[in-house]
Amino acid sequence: MIEPESKIGMLGGGQLGRMSILAGRHLGYKFKVFEPYQKSPAGMVSDVEINAAYEDVSALEEFAKELSVITLEFENVSTEAVQILEKFCPVYPKASILFTCQNRKREKEFLTSKNLPCAPFSVSNSAEELSKSIAEIGFPCVLKTADSGYDGKGQIKLSDAQNWNAFDLWQQLGDPDSIVVEKWIQHQGEFSAIVARNPRGEVRVFPIAENIHINHILHMSIVPARLPSETIQKGEEMAKEIAETLDLVGLLAIEFFLDPSGCLLINEMAPRPHNSGHYTMNACMTSQFEQHIRAVSDLPLGSTELLSSCVMVNILGDAWKNRSPDWSQLLSNPRVKLHLYDKGEPRQSRKMGHFTVFGDSIDDAFKEAELCFKNLMDSWI
């Protein structure tokens, strides 16, 4: 067990790192952040921030000094960087998990090798192979770059066999090393489970969230998810199975589609805290961020008990409209919790904060969340 008052390293300086650090402060831990850009949200609340490229070996070695454990809040870090750090102290999640989860091809192949349900797919390593993959999967389908895709980036949907050219599609996706072609699922909803596991093998799953996206970016998470109890149980069982199979230490977020037959299909995995788990900060006995710190420090995991029905809503840079939004309607509501990330310039589609609305029922919380969001976006019109 890594005792409180020890120093933890954090790879990545975004809001997920910031909230993990703030949660870890309550347990007495100190923090050191490695982030390419100065004055990051996580760096502002850390004890030390090192600014260098993830490929800078000497900076990585300097970062690792005096640390008891290193974790991450951002999975697009090279496995080579993690392997360098592993020479100095434990790094969680391990490089092997990062290697699997940061590439859609390897992620899909892992799922199928373990007989875990996901959409039918085919992998192409060239534009010539892409035509064959599209023909194999059929229409509609979605093309995804194997690396570096998030929030809908690196994706193209093909609805029918008309007006497409494999070479043009390959170029539109940035001439990647490989492309995953997936069958388009006419799903009944999107959901996510966040599972935590510590080195001693203790596992806990947070209540499954029901997620609503706008323009491929998470807009709203509804908890508890409006699913049959047996479907929720199946999702929790899959999350635990994946955590055990990967030998996870830390957090893993698993995104699901609900297919037309009512079965959960695994869409993606992220080995870190997740946007859809922000509701846990106020609605659960233990937040995902405290659980993250507990897991990588090999502390006993906290309870994931849900204390209240709630709806979490993202606040994007679109809400600023050349000046700060009117926060008064959120702050004056006693059943709303507001969180802003101190990320500087509010750009379009940039996640700047979130708020969580509590209700006696899901319907009450959902209606109030929609009203709060509308009032926030209309505040400067």
User: What pLDDT shows up at residue 151?
Assistant: 60
Q: Please tell me the pTM assigned to this model.
A: 0.94
Q: 289 and 330 in one domain?
A: yes
User: What pLDDT shows up at residue 52?
Assistant: 97
pLDDT digits (tens, 9 = 90+) for 143-186: 999 986 666 678 999 988 777 889 999 999 998 889 999 999 99
For residue 143, give its domain range.
120-183
Q: 231 and 371 in one domain?
A: yes
The stretch 93-119 carries a mean pLDDT of 95
Q: Encode 237-297 in three state secondary structure.
A: HHHHHHHHHHCCCEEEEEEEEECCCCCEEEEEEECCCCHHHCCHHHHECCCHHHHHHHHHC
pLDDT averaged over the chain? 95
User: What pLDDT shows up at residue 154?
Assistant: 82
Q: 374 and 266 in one domain?
A: yes
Residue 369 covered by a domain = yes
Q: 171 and 24 in one domain?
A: no
pLDDT exceeds 60 at position 36: yes
Instruction: Report the run of H or E that residue 106 belongs to, with start and end.
Output: helix 104-113
User: What pLDDT shows up at residue 321?
Assistant: 82
Q: 221 and 337 in one domain?
A: yes
The stretch 41-45 carries a mean pLDDT of 97
User: What pLDDT shows up at residue 152?
Assistant: 61
CB 210 within 8 A of CB 194: no
Phi, psi torsion values for 142, nearest 5 degrees: -130, 135
The stretch 219-236 carries a mean pLDDT of 98
Residue 45 covered by a domain = yes
Domain boundary among 183, 205, 231: 183
Indicate which CATH number applies to the domain containing 152: 3.30.1490.20
Of 26-35, 57-66, 317-326, the range with the lowest mean pLDDT is: 317-326
User: What pLDDT shows up at residue 153?
Assistant: 74
Q: 211 and 175 in one domain?
A: no
d(CA 225, CA 239): 15
Report how many domains make up the chain.
3
User: What pLDDT shows up at residue 76?
Assistant: 86
Q: 70 and 39 in one domain?
A: yes
User: What pLDDT shows up at residue 99?
Assistant: 94
User: What pLDDT shows up at residue 6?
Assistant: 97
The tokens for 146 are 């194997």
118 falls in which pLDDT band (50, 70, 90)? very high
